[in-house]
Amino acid sequence: MSPVHPELRLTLADQQGLRWAQQQVTAHHYLHHPVDVRARPLAYVIVLADEPVGCLIFGRPESTRCTGWYGSVEDVQAGRCPLTRWQILNLARVWLDPRVQMGGDWYIPNAASRMLAQALRRVGYDYLMHWPVVWMDEPYEIREVLSYCDTSKHRGTLYRACNFVLRRVNARGIETYVRPLRRLTHAERAEIARASRACPRARRKRLARAVLWPPLFGEEAG
């Protein structure tokens, strides 16, 4: 009987896991740089037999506007684009231990695409629970994930395997791939709303806006 190999598992990273993922991509990813904390990163750690063997890091795109694609709430209201910047995520880093890749001692076929497919099913909910929504009355549901492909470094095979579509190519040959996400369930939206109401950061921002822009009509303070 052939030996049974342990299965890969995808785990949502805590702060320690995020630090580990940032260290791995800094050391091994071709960019050799962590994801900027201003992008509000969220990481998944890929685990094999209780040993971390890879990671995926998502975050907000560096660009807050892409003509005809996404922009501000005002841009959407004016018909300049269909999505707000808050409805877009960036798959910023992918790293898999060479031992799990072809030719490695622990080779597992299609490991990267399998783990990314799992993450894409989860990230629209996980991200908004980890980074709670501030303005629930504005579009917040994450509709698409984009990722950039430097064609001098790789060919975008992983993106195509996970049903990303080439959206654009810039003058430097950097390709932008995009993939839609599933819609949130009613129960997930309710959980996200509860997380928003409980989040101290979101509550502070809502209070600050209420002070600056009080409602035109309402009860006067007693």
Give the closest residue to 128 by CA, choosing from 196, 206, 181: 196
| CB-based contacts of 75, cutoff 8 Å, min separation 6 | 65, 81, 84
Residue 222's pLDDT is what?
30
Both structure tokens of 85: 């910047």
pLDDT tens for 64-100 read 999 899 999 999 999 999 999 999 999 999 999 999 9
Q: How confident is the model at residue 21 (pLDDT cuts 50, 70, 90)?
A: very high
Amino acid at 200: P
Residue 206 CA: distances (Å) to CA of 136, 188, 210: 10, 22, 6
Pairing of strands 88-96, 51-59: antiparallel
State the pTM of this model: 0.90
Mean pLDDT along residues 31-49 = 96
Contact (CB, 8 A) for 74 and 87: no
Give the closest residue to 152 by CA, choosing from 166, 165, 170, 179: 170
Q: How confident is the model at residue 171 (pLDDT cuts 50, 70, 90)?
A: confident
- Looking at the predicted structure, is the pLDDT value of residue 214 above 90? no
Distance CA 180, CA 185 (A): 15
Distance CA 121, CA 98 (A): 25
Distance CA 116, CA 91 (A): 10
Which residue segments constitute the domains of the chain, with CATH numbers given? 8-131+143-192 (3.40.630.30)
Mean pLDDT along residues 162-180 = 91
Residue 220's pLDDT is what?
35
Distance CA 16, CA 157 (A): 30
Distance CA 144, CA 161 (A): 17
- Looking at the predicted structure, is the pLDDT value of residue 162 above 80? yes
As a three-state string, the secondary structure of 127-189 is: HHHHCCCCCCCCCCCCCEEEEEEECCCCCCHHHHHCCCEEEEECCCCEEEEEEECCCCCHHHH
